[in-house]
Structure 1
Amino acid sequence: MPETRDAAYFNARSEGALPGHLGIRFTSVSPEVMHSELTVAAHHMAPNGFLHAGTLVTLADTSCGYGCVLNLPPEASGFTTIELKSNHLGTATQGVVQCVATLVHAGRTTQVWDAVVKHQQTGKTLALFRCTQMVLYPK
């Protein structure tokens, strides 16, 4: 019987890796939409005292990548991100940052995901993303 790939599965998968170190938590997952969040802390900040862009990129890329996992063809061996575009529209110094990643295209060789990152308390959009993943197959 295949393992259940729910929010708890992806949270456990993140432990010991960058998403776990950053405190990224998945709250809801499906093959079409991934919901994740993190609570802003000192290690998320750039030297200027504002949220580091890399924190938001990691949140979005992880959300899109884990969504890709849910959509891999059975014969695929994995995936890799081949392009990530980000537009940063705002920042935060505290609170919770939430990401909603949405499947745009699920093909045999590529997947495309869009992600929106917002500040939970203000509702302000902090960043918009588009990720393209290449589906990998064994040789």
Structure 2
Amino acid sequence: MSGTIRYYDEEVRDKVVERIHQITENVSKAFNCKGTVNADNVYPAVLNHEKQTEIVLDIAEKELGEEGVNTTKHLPWFASEDFSFFLQKIPGTFILLNNVKPGDEPVSLHSSYMDYNDHLTPTGAYLNIRILENRLGFSVL
């Protein structure tokens, strides 16, 4: 069996891993079998830095309009991303662009029904350029 642990607090992660070990041990005893847990590949939580998040949201709202930005900026988000390793070393923020085509129902990124909205690529590139310009302190366009 395999799975993903998603959390937003290191203490929660530690407690969940501990409980998985306990459950595995006890279920194995109950069924007279052997169970092992390999929790070595647990990604860190994606924890955005407040200052960088505010800067990026301000730029996104300016460039995309308030209706183009989800401003649930202070809610914890359960993500399992390589980017979390960067955020442990360098202040930053992880953002998502709405990829739902007008008239379509949203589907999970990992769904077989996911159909990438190619028309979004210029918007994403433009937004990243504006963020870069803010960071560098000068315009590149």
TM-score, normalised by the number of residues in structure 1? 0.26
Which has a greater percent of strand? 1
Structure ID, larger Rg? 2
TM-score, with structure 2 as normaliser: 0.26
Decide which structure has greater helix share: 2
